[in-house]
Amino acid sequence: MDMNIETPEDQNEENSRRVQVRFKTKLKPPQKVPSNSIAIPSNLTRFGLSSVVNNLLQAVNPEWKSEPFDFLINGELVRMSLEQFLLAKGISAEKVLEIEYIKAVAPQKEEEPSLHDDWVSAVDGSNPGFILTGCYDNLGRVWKAGGVCTHILEGHCGAVSSVNIIKSDGLKYVTVATASKDQTLRLWKFDAEELVNHPKKIRSFKILRGHKASVHSIAAETSGNMVCSGSWDCTISLWRTNDSDAAGNQVSIKKRKGNNQVEEPQLEGEAISTLVGHTQCVSSVVWPQQETIYSASWDHSVRTWDVEMGKDLSDIFCGKALNCIDIGGEGSALIAAGGSDPILRIWDPRKPGTSAPVFQFSSHNSWISACKWHNKSWFHLISASYDGKVMLWDLRTAWPLSVIDSHKDKVLCADWWRGDSVISGGVDSKLCVSSGVSIQ
Amino acid sequence: MRERKKSSAVEVSSVKKKKEKKTKDNNEPREQKEKEESQSIMKQQKNTTSRSKKEKQRKATEDYQSLRESELSGDEVHGTDRDVDNADDHHEEDQSDGSEGHRGVEESDSSEDEVAPRNTIGDVPLEWYKDEKHIGYDISGKKITKKERQDKLASFLANVDDPKSWRKIYDEYNDEEVELTKEEIRLVQRLLKGKAPHADFDQYADYVDWFKYDDALHPLSNAPEPKRRFIPSKWESKKVVQYVRAIRKGLIKFDEPKEEEPKFYLLWGDDSSAAEKANHLAYIPAPKPKLPGHEESYNPSLEYIPTREELNSYQLMYEEDRPKFIPRRFTSLRSVPAYENAVKDSFERCMDLYLCPRVRKKRVNIDPETLKPKLPSRKDLKPYPVACYLEYKGHKGAVVSISTEASGQWFASGSTDGTVRIWEVESGRCLRVLEIGEAIQYVAWNPLPELPVLAVSAGQDVLILNTGLGNEEEQRRVKDLLHVETPTAPDDNMASIVSWLQHDKLDGIRLRHFKMVSSVEWHRRGDYLSTLSKKLSHRIPFKLHGLPVSSVFHPTRSIFFVSTKKNIRVYDLLKQRLIKKLETGLKEVSSIAIHPAGDNLIVGSREGKLCWFDMDLSSKPYRVLKCHPKDITNVAFHRSYPLFASCSDDCTAYVFHGMVYSDLNQNPLIVPLEILRGHTSSNGRGVMDCKFHPRQPWLFTAGADSVIRLYCH
């Protein structure tokens, strides 16, 4: 193939070896290069390979605008020069090397941060329409794209520690749940599509009492009928979300001072069951399937609970106090958890006979406060840390794909939003949105 | 009679007699006689090996002379053979008679011969009379009794007293003790050494050939040389053949020549190794002078020759620092001048050797690693706090005291800026700031989780404050508890020490003391508290010698520990009396902490020493750890992990593994684990307080730099 390839390493091209490669991709035709094998210098890094591919694309399509790509060899991302990579992995350079390229995953744009009055302690981006945040000023907030606050959830008398959007497909009203350090959980309902000029204050329709200490985390069931919460009193409680059929509903007679809005009756609910087993603060719970709850605790364990039986099925002992947990990845089965050390660990519970993590990512410098899997991709997850960084990880490489360094202090929470943005809140009272993360 | 007496002499001189007898037979044919003579001479020579040579020689000359005489006479007067013989015989007889006794004395070597034997029993074996009281019979047939023997003990004592006893010999034959003379002893010693008995006997004297017949008229033998002298010996050759065959068959083996190892001497080597082998008072060789190197050559390489600058720089040096020898180049060895310092050098060398004392240094060859105590590896003792991940900032003055809540979600800190802050552990969030207005001395969180109240000592007050945590019901209870009617009827005893007042601004009780309150401790059930003030004033008054420094409640039993500057007193709270006094041996105690099991106590001191008391063991410290270069400000035990820590004004905190075994025979194991740094010094103070997280192996340290740090595992 006679082709003029302009590479940044052109000057020292002659004194480096050449390898025969063939680029392939699962991308759509405008991003597809001809599948001929070409010889490229072996000292190219990801950037060099990316410019090679862009050149190839330009040769086919002159209007092609160059775009960063990431490269996979045998299912692993290339993070060093091609030569070193082949040496390290023991791949022969004699054969034609097949390199798969994907779009590079990195945030393209840093949006204007949404300012809060106090530390942003919790964030949920599971609804593409809005972002829900919890704050240390006892309020929850709902944000639209572009940094517009539409609703303020008012009612907690302690810092909000966790927020969760309860799935409510097809309904006009969106139900959300918040957990607070005032030992209660509250459920809220509002119309997300409603257009407002200034933030509308709403009150909870249901208060869930029963925890004897601060509630630390909350998670809703996939169907949206139940929520579970983990607390400092070492228990996990399960609650019903529906407003009608809960037994012992009481009409609250409390009056709210300060605003003249119509008083709605407040319901109170009690836990329908409590999962006891952790010996210390339950710092994080997730409820990815109908029948299992995963929980992480400061007693250094990750437990899997059977909801029907109310018993824990298995526990993984980690050795560090854990702050966050999330389930995702391949087959939605991998457990990612971070805690009181800078290492993000990923376990595969399907692997028998071992409780050793399958992946360990240790680029952070401080405690990890949040970790979230991408809901579509098997490989991507984010982690937030007290060192002020949010890192984007790919399981196929030990280095972070990108580091979002927009916070000035500790990052307390992070989530994905709309599948292509990373939202994070921290001690600097900002909700940062980094958009343009293209994950196919 | 005489013959018998001199039997031994007769024996010795028998040869002589025989010879004499032979001389008597002069009438025999002459040749035969000659032959006999020579033979007898030869025999005599052979026999007289034990005799002294000179005597032998003398005798030989005599014999020879007599022989010659007889020969001459024989030759000259043939006819009167008989007469002469007779006369000769006679003469000889006379001579022998006269000389026999004389000679016998002269010739004999043994002392027996010198003194006549006094034994009169005759030539009878002595063992015949071994067990009898007599040794034999005299000539008239009477028994000769043995001399009475001394018993062994007496003889031993006599021997000890008598310096000459070693010379004494018991002569069995004569039944008497003989004292050996010096000559005799010398003779015995010579015999023992295997030498000739007499010193003047020359064993290897030159051979004197008495029979010189080269120039004599008549040679001894006229016989022609026998033929065998000229032909090779048949027997010899047979023997050789035999040997050759044996060698061929391999019956005779030659010793293989030993390969001698070449002996080398390390000419310039250190002699010390050779000297070390001797285990007596060893010779210490003098140190060897330095060997000449290349620079001392008459034509050294250029690099040894100092440059002009170097030479100039030597001039600037002190006299003693200058090099002793400056290399120079000469075209030939011939042109090298005499060394001007030769005499001086050798003199100095001699002085060195003479004046310098030489001592052998005993070097102990011990691997320093083996001297270290065997401690378990730090890796096996995980978890323990290692790295600081969280900092709690907000105070404006030095943080003096911290206290954690029972569940470990919150902790409180008191500072010299007059505020008490309540922090959230996990996020570093300051939840509440309580303005006291006076520099805080001590904060203590109530150990009950359902009673979130805080005891704070500031100035002369102890404040019991509501932290505002917990749900509404708990808050109600706390508020009830913390409400005191201000005009309380003064108790007769208590009012004199403290007065209970409602705090006006903050939500709590104010306990007013008369003096500064230095520390506050809660009882484990959270319903009692102790306060230590500058002047003796306790809830339960105890007599103390000296100011109280620190106090602590026993974690399980109703025992209370109070430390003064020197000692720690242990009181029983129920019986209200002193149980024990622990002697620290420290100059000034600063803090104490008790192990959660209650049997072990650690004490920090102002001189940087940490004492571990095992109260089952003794009232003296089980171990004293000297680790901090400056004052220890506080010590702490972990509630569940086997960890303890000390913090000091040198801005560090030390974490130790302190395992207490339930087996009483096993002493506590103390392993230093980690030095935690990070605080900066301010006004000479470093880390003011340290507390463990109640449930995690984490350590909070409060610094004088107004920062609180959390060290995690």
Mean pLDDT of A354-377: 86
User: pTM (2 decimals)?
Assistant: 0.63
| Same CATH fold assignment for domains A14-103 and A109-435 | no
How many contacts does A have with B, using Cβ atoms within 8 A?
A: 52
Average pLDDT for residues A47-52, to the nearest whole number?
84
Q: Quick check: B514 pLDDT over 70?
A: no
Interface test with A, best of B380, B389, B450, B699 (most A CBs within 10 A): B389
H or E element that contains B443:
strand B440-445
Position B4 confidence tier, pLDDT thresholds 50, 70, 90: very low
The Cα of B384 is separated from the nearest Cα of chain A by a number of Å equal to 11
Arithmetic mean of pLDDT, A232-247: 74
CB contact under 8 A, A119 and B408: no
Among A145-154, B317-326, B478-487, the least confident range:
B478-487
C-alpha A387/C-alpha A369 separation (Å) is 10
Q: What is the mean pLDDT of residues B570-581?
A: 81
CA distance B420 to B425: 15
Tens digits of residue pLDDT in A130-143? 888 888 888 888 88
How far is it, in rounded angstroms, from Cα B92 to Cα A360? 132
Q: Which of chain B's residues have a Cβ under 8 Å away from the Cβ of A280?
A: 408, 695-696
Q: Which residues contact B427 (CB under 8 A, 6 or more apart)?
A: A119, A121, A410, A412, A427
CA separation, residue B54 to residues A190, A386, B41, B173, B203 (Å)? 151, 121, 16, 31, 11
**Considering only alpha carbons, which residue of chain B is nearest residue A365?**
B389
Cα distance from N-terminal residue to C-terminal residue, chain B: 121
Give me the pLDDT at residue B249, please.
Answer: 92
Distances B53 to B59, B60, B64, B538 between C-alpha atoms, Å: 10, 10, 16, 118
Residue B74, CA atoms < 13 Å, CB-side half-sphere: 18
Question: A410 to chain B: which residues are within 8 Å by CB?
Answer: 427-428
Nearest Cα residue to A229 out of A190, A278, A168, A167: A278
Phi, psi of B189, rounded to the nearest 5 degrees? -60, -40
pLDDT at site B529: 66
B77, exposed or middle or buried, with CB in 10 Å at 0-12, 13-18, 19+?
A: exposed
Chain B residue with minimum CA distance to A385: B389
Interface test with B, best of A119, A281, A299, A364 (most B CBs within 10 A): A281
Percentage of residues of chain A with pLDDT beyond 90: 0
pLDDT-derived band of residue B237, with 50, 70 and 90 as boundaries?
Answer: very high
Residue A298 backbone phi and psi in degrees, to 5:
-75, -10
Strand order in the sheet with B567-572: B550-553, B559-563, B567-572, B577-583
- Return the residue of A nearest to B388 by Cα: A366
Residues A169-195 have a mean pLDDT of: 81
Contact B471 A212 (CB under 8 A): yes
What fold is seen in the domain A14-103?
Answer: Ubiquitin-like (UB roll) (3.10.20)
Q: What is the pLDDT of residue B84?
A: 40
Neighbours of B45 (CB within 10 A): 11
Yes or no, beta carbons of A119 and B713 under 8 Å apart:
no
How far is residue A216's CA from residue A236's CA, in Å, rounded to a whole number? 10
Contact at CB, A119 and B712, closer than 8 angstroms:
no
d(CA A386, CA B673): 26
Closest CA to A204 of A149, A148, A126, A134: A134
**Of all residues in chain A, what percent carry a pLDDT higher than 70?**
90
Nearest to B409 among A136, A232, A320 (CB): A232
Interchain contact, A386 vs B712, CB within 8 Å: no
- Sign of the CA dihedral with B151 first, then B153, B159, and B162 last: negative
Tell me if chain A has a CB within 8 Å of the CB of B407. yes
Q: What is the mean pLDDT of residues B107-134?
A: 65
Which residues in chain B have their CB less than 8 angstroms from residue A319's CB?
Answer: 382-383
Q: What are the extents of the domains in chain A?
A: 14-103, 109-435
Report chain A residues whose CB lies below 8 A from the CB of B426: 283, 323
**Cβ-nearest to B712 among A182, A341, A412:** A341
Among the listed residues B644, B640, B638, B642, the one whose alpha carbon sits nearest the alpha carbon of residue B625: B644
Closest to A383 (Cα-Cα) out of A435, A355, A348, A345 = A345
Task: Decide if B429 and A159 are in contact by the 8 Å CB cutoff.
Answer: yes
**A320/A438: higher pLDDT:** A320
The minimum CA-CA distance between B325 and chain A, rounded to whole Å, is 57
Residue with tokens 């194991």: B669
Compute φ and ψ for B427, nearest 5 degrees. Answer: -110, -15
Most B CBs within 10 Å: which of A119, A121, A216, A232, as the mutation test of the B interface?
Answer: A232
Q: Which residues of A touch B407 (CB under 8 A)?
A: 213, 232, 281
CA B583/CA B565 separation, integer angstroms: 11
Torsion of CA B563, B567, B572, B576, to 10 degrees: -90
- Number of other CB atoms surrounding residue B30 within 10 Å: 14
User: Exposure pattern of A289-319 as b/e (b: 16+ CB <10 Å)?
Assistant: eeeebbbbbbbbbbbbbebeeeebeebbebe
Q: Tell me which residues of chain A have a C-beta less than 8 Å from any C-beta of chain B.
A: 119, 121, 136, 159, 182-183, 212-214, 232, 280-281, 283, 298-299, 319-321, 323, 340-342, 366-367, 386, 410, 412, 427
Q: CB atoms < 10 A from the CB of B637, how many?
A: 23
Question: Of A217, A324, A368, A386, which to mutate for an interface test with B (greatest number of B Cβ within 10 Å)?
Answer: A386
Cα–Cα distance, B371 to B365 (Å, whole number): 12
Select from B427, B477, B700 the residue whose CB has the most chain A CBs within 10 Å, as the one to mutate to test that interface: B427
ipTM of the complex as predicted: 0.82
Q: Nearest Cβ partner of A119 from B429, B471, B713? A: B429
- Say how far apart CA A77 and CA A68 lie, in whole Å: 14
Provide the residue type at A385 as one letter: S
Q: Does B640 touch chain A (CB under 8 A)?
A: no
Three-state secondary structure call for residue A83: helix
Test A213 with B427 for CB contact under 8 angstroms: no
Measure B688 CA to nearest chain A CA, in Å.
Answer: 25
What's the Cα-to-Cα distance from A83 to each of A13, A16, B647, rounded to whole Å?
A: 13, 9, 52
- Work out the minimum CA distance from B324 to partner chain A, whole angstroms: 59
Which residues of chain B does A341 touch, with a Cβ-Cβ cutoff of 8 Å?
Answer: 389, 712-713
CB A214 within 8 A of CB A230: no
- The verdict on B389 touching A (C-beta cutoff 8 Å) is yes
Q: Across A67-71, B261-265, B518-522, which has the greatest mean pLDDT?
A: A67-71
**Nearest CB partner across the interface for B696, out of A212, A321, A427:** A321
Q: Which helix (H) or strand (E) holds A275?
A: strand A273-276
Query: Left if phi > 0, otherwise alpha if psi is -120 to 50, otherwise beta: which for B705?
Result: alpha
B426 touches chain A (CB under 8 A): yes
Write down the architecture of domain B380-712 according to CATH.
Answer: 7 Propeller (2.130)
B138 or B650, higher pLDDT: B650
Residue B585 CB: number of other CB atoms within 10 A? 14
The reported pLDDT for the residue numbered B6 is 41
State which residue of chain B sits closest to A161, comparing Cα positions.
B427
Neighbours of B520 (CB within 10 A): 24
Distance CA A189, CA B551 (A): 55
Query: Before B668, cis peptide (omega within 30)?
Result: no
Contact B409 A213 (CB under 8 A): yes
Closest-CA residue of B relative to A411 is: B427
Do B611 and B646 touch, CB atoms closer than 8 A? no
Q: Are B408 and B694 in contact (CB under 8 A)?
A: yes
**Is it the case that residue B167 has pLDDT exceeding 70?**
yes
Closest by CA position to B93, among listed B28, B14, B36, B21 = B21
- Residues B587, B605: contact at Cβ < 8 Å? yes
Phi and psi at B354, nearest 5°, equal: -85, -40
Residue A301: φ, ψ to 5°: -125, 155
pLDDT given at position B61:
47
B 232-261 → A contacts, CB under 8 A = none
CB contact at 8 A, A277 and A262: no
Q: Which residue has the higher pLDDT, A187 or B97?
A: A187
B167 touches chain A (CB under 8 A): no
Split at pLDDT 50, 70, 90, the class of B241 is very high
The residues spanned by each domain of chain B are 2-109, 126-193, 264-326, 380-712
Residue B353 has pLDDT above 60, yes or no: yes
Task: Label residue B539 by pLDDT band (50, 70, 90).
Answer: very low
Shortest CA gap B704–chain A (Å): 23
Q: Are strands A76-77 and A69-73 parallel, antiparallel or unpaired?
A: antiparallel
> Sorting pLDDT into bands at 50, 70 and 90, what band is B343?
very high
pLDDT tens per residue, range B371-391: 877 888 888 888 888 888 888
| Residue labelled with tokens 């390290």 | A88
Which of A183, A299, A386 is closest, CB to CB, to B389?
Answer: A386
Nearest CA in chain A to B425: A340
* Closest CA in chain A for residue B472: A182
Gap between the Cα atoms of B635 and A195, Å rounded: 60
Task: Give the bridge partners for B638, in sequence order.
Answer: none
Quick one: closest CA in A to B409, which residue? A232
- Identify the weakest region by mean pLDDT among A73-87, A227-241, A332-346, B603-617: A73-87
Lowest pLDDT segment from A89-93, B417-421, B660-664: A89-93
Which chain B residues are within 8 Å of A299, Cβ to Cβ? 695
What CATH number should be reported for the domain whose range is A109-435? Answer: 2.130.10.10
Kind of pairing, strands B559-563 and B567-572? antiparallel
How far is residue B694's CA from residue A333's CA, in Å, rounded to a whole number? 34
User: Which site among A233, A318, A340 would you substitute to test the B interface, given the most B Cβ atoms closer than 10 Å to its Cβ?
Assistant: A340
Our CA angle for B71, B76, B81, nearest 5°, is 75
DSSP B696: S
Alpha carbons B273 and B269: distance in angstroms, whole number: 9
d(CA A105, CA A392): 8
pLDDT at position B279: 58
Integer Rg of chain B from CA: 58
